[in-house]
Structure 1
Amino acid sequence: MPKIVDPEARRRAVAQAVLAVVAQRGLEGASLRNVAEEAGLAIGSVRHYFTDHDELMIFAMRELGRRTGERIRAHAERLLAPDGDLDRRAATEELLAEFLPLDDARREEAVLWITFTAATHTRPELRPCAAEMQQDMRDLVARVLSEARRMGGMPADLEVDVESRRLTALLDGLTLQAALLPDRMPPKQLRQVLRRHLDALRSGG
């Protein structure tokens, strides 16, 4: 009896192979041949699930975002739920900390994300995906800040749009520094900077 293959599961497995190759050889090394070898498939099998190389790269980029997004959504659901016993200040910090490379797995994701977003300069097909994910991040941060303001955890006159842009820029900058210079920006320092920024927001600074 022929083996039944879940097409979506196979596509995700191929995307994971893309990410593994990019981590080892950079984006230019993610040829169909190298990806197929990493996935343990024939090139024809990869082509069966993706119409071309561009579609494969975009799907892999989205898969990278999905991995991070699943963790962040779990924090968001907890934070935004009507739970009176929740320490919302700590929960907010934990949610935002998911955007930072605080361990080896998240550092590898950060390096991959920087690699893909840097490539948008010469690969315009990747730009819509990068822009969409950046907007999703800003929207989530704005929602968190807006809810914190509503609950009294932030000043009533907090400019959510401006502060969400400022906070996402801070997270992006910290991620870039920590990914490129991990010894100079260790996890403890990343958390300190994030915590100091949140404290400043609470005090209206």
Structure 2
Amino acid sequence: MPKIVDHEARRMELADAVGRVIARDGVNEVSIRSVAAEAGWSSGTLRHYFTTRAELLAFACEQVIHRVATRITDMRHSGTVQQAVRDTLLETMPVDARRHAEAAVAFAFLALGLSDPRLAEVQRAHFDGMYGLCLRVIESLDAEGLLAPHIASTELLARRLHAVVDGLSIQRLAGHLTPELMVAQLDAYLAEIIIGADETR
């Protein structure tokens, strides 16, 4: 019988290889050849799945977005609302090796999207998804009466939360913050906007 190849699994294998190359060597080192070598493939075999570097990068970032979103959707919270907010946001931030690699892939598109329309589209999807998550967080806190007194709209508060989360993540990726300092800064911000947040950590 002919060998059955799971093409989707092989594409996912390549996406993971892209993440490893970016995390170890930086996004500039991502190429058909470097990713093929990382995955243990030949360049010719990889080209059966992705013909250009941009296609390969876009797929890798889309998979990161999907993977993180799925984990957040599947989370089951047993603590307070405040703890659930903290855990949800940290799932998107580079607090350990796995999430560091995912964030490195996602934020690599900050520069790449400036010159490639396809990659700019993926970049927008990443930012739109994060803003949507932050908006759901703020709206949930507001509905529960847990937002500290404010005059800003929930949309503006969500934009600020998004800026804090992404800003801390970028500083961590750049090596300006340790994971512990990044988490401490997130906790400090949540303590400002959530009633009683500093009492539940």
Q: Same fold (TM over 0.5)?
A: yes
Deviations 1:106-156 (A, max 9, x none): 223333333232222233321111111111111111112111111122258
Match of 1:200 in 2: 192
State yes or no: 1:123 paired with 2:116.
Answer: yes
Match of 2:178 in 1: 186
Give the secondary structure class of the aligned counterpart of 2:128: helix
Match of 2:155 in 1: 161
Counterpart contact for 1:138–1:168, Cα < 8 Å: yes
Residue identity in the other structure for 1:191: V
Match of 1:15 in 2: 15
Counterpart contact for 1:154–1:201, Cα < 8 Å: yes
Deviations 1:19-63 (A, max 9, x none): 222333333322212222222223232122224332222101112
Return structure 1 stretches of 4+ with deviation > 3 angstroms. Answer: 155-158
Please give the alpha-carbon distance, in whole angstroms, between the structure 2 residues aligned to 1:189 and 1:60: 28
Unaligned runs of 5+ in 1: 80-84
Please give the alpha-carbon distance, in whole angstroms, between the structure 2 residues aligned to 1:21 and 1:178: 18
Alpha-carbon shift at residue 69 of structure 1 (Å): 2.5
Match of 2:129 in 1: 136
Quick check: 13-22 or 141-150, which moved more? 13-22
State yes or no: 1:104 paired with 2:91.
Answer: no
Q: Which of the residues 74, 87, 99 maps onto 2:80?
A: 87
Quick check: 40-49 or 89-98, which moved more? 40-49
Change (3 A) 1:197 1:26: closer
How many pairs are equivalent? 194
Match of 2:198 in 1: none
Residue identity in the other structure for 1:8: E
Give the secondary structure class of the aligned counterpart of 2:166: helix
TM-score by length of 2: 0.84
Give the secondary structure class of the aligned counterpart of 1:49: coil
Residue identity in the other structure for 1:135: D
Change (3 A) 1:52 1:112: closer
Quick check: 129-138 or 106-115, which moved more? 106-115
Unaligned runs of 5+ in 2: 196-201
Give the secondary structure class of the aligned counterpart of 1:54: helix
Change (3 A) 1:194 1:23: closer
TM-score by length of 1: 0.83
Quick check: 90-99 or 25-34, which moved more? 25-34
